[in-house]
């Protein structure tokens, strides 16, 4: 006799229980090898529970011993007071580091300059500007920095049907190609002689939790973050022999004006099939669905800096609102049917409501 496939409600009820219990532990997740249970004739609910418990209970705490303070940190993306880059720059500065914060418009870095942080002009889309910044920092550090943080970013959010493809290309220029351009230019300053113990440098790419999410109406943004996450994976493999440790920073929901600014571009065509759920589309794009979980930038930056300064920082750092939850769910996808996962995201964007409306029209 074939075993009955667990119902959707049973799957998600158990997943939610586990997430509530473990999402806020803040521990690095290191999953064991898992067998996919939802193939063939299906898995029983007890088997499913056992697999999830095996996956979610395998946490380990990294060595918390901190090395001596690095000499120089180049923190990109500190474009204006209150930005994530500014928060990181201030957190490193508070630890006693020499920080170089960059911005396209230096008039927006007054708070950093008042704190004693050196700011320099940098347009991450200009090869000439990147080279000039690299030369200036190299001259002031004798050609060596310890940490490079790629944190610049932009967004474009719409249902895929209505995406402005030119804006999407420009988004990839900021979220992917600018990271690669700056990194290539600054690599000579990060290279280390591995024969000297404790001299490993850090390359940090902020890809955000969006790199692993299938959030509706975020296709261009999430795809750009996923692309940079894969670059980070391969950079880590290629650069490790050269004394450079690459870290993927998965940032969760944070208090900022980035989300509210997204609503300025929501202008669905009058004949858009998504008009019946325009409110739901707006909520997802504006970040209203996650604002209750948002963490303040100062706490986020402090935690990230502490993570980066550990003796052996992890390949991925998950910080910010919902980051722990998303880290767990990204690891258990192998035991949750894709169809069930898709339905959860459809509910998030009101697409289940739209499907019902479309069916009623056809009836």
- For residues 336 and 268, the answer to whether their CB atoms sit within 8 Å is no
Alpha helices in the chain (DSSP H): 8-22, 45-56, 84-94, 110-114, 127-141, 165-172, 178-190, 219-239, 258-262, 278-286, 297-308, 323-331, 338-348, 351-362
**Rounded Cα gap, residues 195 and 148, in angstroms:** 21
What span, in angstroms and rounded, lies between the C-alpha atoms of 200 and 192?
6
Q: Are 186 and 252 in contact (CB under 8 A)?
A: no
Calculate the alpha carbon distances from 327 to 25, 27, 234 in Å: 11, 10, 20
**CA dist list (Å): 224 to 114, 201, 340:** 34, 25, 25
Contact 70, 99 (CB under 8 A): no
Among 98, 134, 225, 302, the one annotated catalytic: 225
- 347 token code pair: 């509910």
User: Which residues lie closer than 8 Å to 242 by C-beta, 6 or more apart?
Assistant: 191, 192, 194
Residue 231 near residue 239 (C-beta atoms within 8 A): no
Any residues with CB less than 8 A from the CB of 179 and at least 6 apart, and which?
150, 152, 205, 228, 231
Question: Is 311 a residue of the active site?
Answer: no
Active-site residue, selected from the candidate residues 11, 29, 157, 221? 221
Structure tokens at 240: 């490790």
Kindly write down the DSSP assignment for every residue of 89-105, as one continuous string: HHHHHHTT-EEEEEES-
- DSSP collapsed to 3 states, 223-279: HHHHHHHHHHHHHHHHHHHHCEEEEEEEECEECCCHHHHHHHHCCCCCCCCCHHHHH
Q: Is 221 a catalytic residue?
A: yes
Tokens of residue 156, six digits: 């474009």
Angle at 341 (CA atoms; ends 340, 346), nearest 5 degrees: 95
- Write out the catalytic residue numbers: 221, 225
């Amino acid at each position: 006799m074939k075993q009955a496939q667990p119902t959707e409600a049973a799957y998600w009820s158990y997943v939610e229980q586990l997430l509530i219990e473990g999402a806020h532990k803040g521990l690095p997740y290191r999953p064991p090898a898992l067998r996919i249970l939802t193939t063939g004739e299906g898995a029983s609910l007890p088997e499913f529970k056992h697999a999830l418990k095996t996956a979610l209970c395998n946490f380990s705490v990294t060595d918390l011993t901190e090395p001596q303070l690095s000499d120089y940190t180049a923190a990109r993306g500190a474009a204006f007071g209150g930005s994530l880059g500014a928060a990181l720059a201030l957190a490193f500065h508070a630890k006693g580091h020499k920080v170089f914060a960059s911005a396209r418009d230096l008039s927006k870095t007054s708070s950093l300059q008042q704190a004693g942080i050196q700011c320099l002009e940098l347009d991450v889309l200009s090869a000439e500007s990147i080279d000039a910044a690299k030369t200036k920092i190299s001259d002031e550090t004798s050609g060596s920095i310890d940490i490079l943080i790629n944190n610049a970013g932009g967004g474009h959010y719409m249902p895929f049907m209505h995406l402005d493809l030119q804006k999407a290309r420009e988004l990839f220029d900021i979220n992917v190609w600018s990271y690669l351009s700056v990194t290539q230019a600054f690599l000579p300053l990060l290279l280390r002689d591995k024969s000297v113990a404790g001299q490993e440098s850090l390359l940090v790419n902020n890809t955000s939790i969006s790199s692993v999410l299938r959030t509706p109406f975020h296709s261009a943004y999430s795809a750009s973050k996923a692309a940079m996450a894969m670059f980070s994976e391969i950079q880590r493999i290629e650069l490790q022999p050269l004394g450079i440790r690459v870290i993927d920073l998965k940032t969760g929901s944070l208090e900022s004006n980035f989300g509210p600014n997204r609503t300025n571009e929501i202008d669905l065509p009058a004949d858009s099939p998504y008009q019946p759920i325009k409110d739901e589309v707006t909520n997802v794009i504006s970040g209203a669905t996650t604002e209750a979980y948002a963490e303040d930038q100062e706490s986020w930056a402090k935690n990230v800096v502490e993570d980066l300064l550990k003796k052996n920082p992890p390949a991925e750092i998950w910080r910010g609102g919902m980051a722990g939850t998303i880290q767990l769910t990204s690891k258990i996808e192998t035991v949750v049917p894709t169809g069930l996962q898709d339905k959860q995201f459809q509910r998030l964007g009101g697409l289940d409501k739209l499907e019902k409306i479309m069916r009623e029209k056809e009836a």
